[in-house]
């Protein structure tokens, strides 16, 4: 198959629409179910590249949760703690390594992952399919599916769930083309390999990355390689825990991603873990309610007559002081940036979210200020020398 007709482009008024191969080759994908659209395929091809590179860089099964051509989450397979299983709503499931990777990719920012596109580095197994079955999602791309997994996934969305199989051996052309306003752009593909060697040019007094930090920094940088720029990514425990995408200001990227990392950690607070939901509350409603509970708007939004819809007992508020104290326990976080930090304020903000390890290109006229700020907090920072813009 050299081309595939689509219902429409980015919006319903943008017709006709299709994906096709410019050369004589065949499309590297097969649609096994559903009718993926234009944005679905943009998410599919970006997310597939991300998980394929994560698997190559770490040797671990990888998963990504994509929304609007940027990752809401990305992760590799590591053992989940009981706490993470609970906040990801998977404590009742048997998890394979691949299922663990998707549980983490989905769980890092569950509100952003609602209605996501999923990418898996490995053949989708039944455990991963059962996890996906109960989440709201648009579709999935993977190099294959077991018969059991395919049967489960085909049952989603009344049989219309989008399932795409990609040839894992497909190698795209070296040059990429993009049309904007009737003008064609050409560039070489970003074949940059992100590995340990890229994490060796230390510029701070602290010149030590733990093995876990190296893994997490590679996750952060590979995630950024497929995130709309400007972008910053916080990572910990084998997963992205906060992605700040598409901001015009670097500090806004750092704040946005840091706020998401804070929410990820606040969801692990004992008061959140002990919330008593009524039996019929759906997972998306729980996510929204937890987000409100963590926010400073809790008592305004969940007033009498409202909280009873969600909780068996009205929860005691989580005060600003309690949240601030809890966040002091967040540590060992890795931070990647797709371009240089122009000011030390980014490091000051990162410190509030437990960042101890930093990888960024360097090259700002204020590099000394950024380095000095890292040294103030004994952070280890390397300059990669490589920008990772993605547009």
Q: Which of 33, 40, 230, 346 is catalytic?
A: 230
Active site residue 269: no
DSSP per-residue letters across 174-242: SEEEEEETTEEEEEE---PPP-GGGG--B-SSB----HHHHHHHHHHHHHHHTSPSSEEEEEETTEEEE
Active site residue 329: no
Residue 272: name the closest of 53, 100, 87 by CA: 87
Handedness of CA 110, 114, 119, 120 (dihedral sign): positive
What is the phi-psi region of residue 114: left when phi exceeds 0, alpha when psi lies from -120 to 50, beta otherwise? Answer: beta
Distance CA 211, CA 112 (A): 29
Distance CA 50, CA 119 (A): 8
Tokens representing 307 are: 């909280």
Neighbours of 141 (CB within 10 A): 27
CB 63 within 8 A of CB 102: yes
Q: Which of 68, 86, 252, 352 is catalytic?
A: 68
Q: Which of 40, 46, 55, 67 is catalytic?
A: 67
Active site residue 13: no
CA separation (Å) from 257 to 17, 73, 111, 246, 337? 34, 11, 14, 11, 11
The DSSP bridge pattern shows strands 3-6 and 183-188 to be unpaired
Distance CA 307, CA 207 (A): 50
CB 163 within 8 A of CB 31: yes
Residues recognised as catalytic: 67-68, 230, 391
């Amino acid at each position: 198959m050299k081309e595939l007709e689509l219902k429409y482009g980015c919006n319903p008024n943008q017709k006709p629409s299709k994906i096709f191969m410019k050369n004589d080759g065949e499309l590297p994908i097969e649609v096994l179910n559903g009718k993926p659209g234009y944005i679905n395929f943009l998410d599919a091809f970006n997310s597939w590249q991300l998980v394929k590179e994560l698997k190559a860089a770490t040797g671990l099964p990888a998963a990504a949760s994509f929304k609007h051509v940027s990752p809401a989450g990305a992760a590799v397979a590591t053992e989940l703690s009981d706490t993470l299983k609970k906040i990801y709503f998977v404590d009742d499931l048997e998890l394979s390594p691949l299922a663990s990777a998707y549980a983490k990719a989905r769980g890092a920012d569950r509100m952003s992952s609602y209605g996501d596109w999923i990418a898996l580095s490995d053949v989708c197994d039944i455990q991963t399919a059962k996890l996906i079955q109960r989440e709201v999602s648009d579709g999935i791309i993977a190099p294959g599916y077991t018969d059991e997994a395919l049967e489960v996934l085909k049952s989603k969305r009344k049989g219309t769930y989008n399932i795409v199989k990609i040839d894992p051996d497909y190698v795209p052309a070296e040059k990429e083309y993009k049309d904007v306003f009737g003008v064609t752009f050409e560039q070489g593909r970003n074949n940059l390999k992100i590995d340990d060697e890229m994490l060796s040019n230390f510029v701070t007094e602290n010149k030590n990355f733990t093995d876990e930090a190296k893994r997490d920094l590679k996750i952060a940088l590979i995630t950024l390689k497929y995130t709309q720029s400007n972008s910053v990514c916080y990572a910990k425990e084998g997963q992205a825990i906060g992605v700040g995408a598409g901001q015009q200001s670097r500090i806004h990227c750092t704040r946005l991603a840091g706020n998401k990392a804070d929410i990820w950690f606040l969801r692990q607070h004992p008061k959140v873990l002990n919330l008593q939901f009524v039996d019929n509350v759906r997972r998306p409603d729980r996510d929204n309610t937890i987000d409100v509970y963590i926010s400073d708007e809790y008592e305004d939004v969940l007033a009498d007559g409202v909280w009873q819809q969600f909780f068996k007992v009205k929860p005691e508020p989580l005060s600003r002081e309690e949240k601030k104290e809890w966040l002091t326990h967040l540590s060992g976080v890795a931070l990647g940036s797709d371009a240089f930090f122009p000011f030390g304020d980014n490091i000051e903000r990162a410190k509030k979210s437990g960042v101890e390890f930093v990888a960024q290109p360097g090259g700002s006229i204020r590099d000394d200020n950024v380095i000095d700020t890292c040294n103030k907090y004994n952070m280890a920072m390397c300059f990669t020398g490589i920008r990772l813009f993605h547009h």
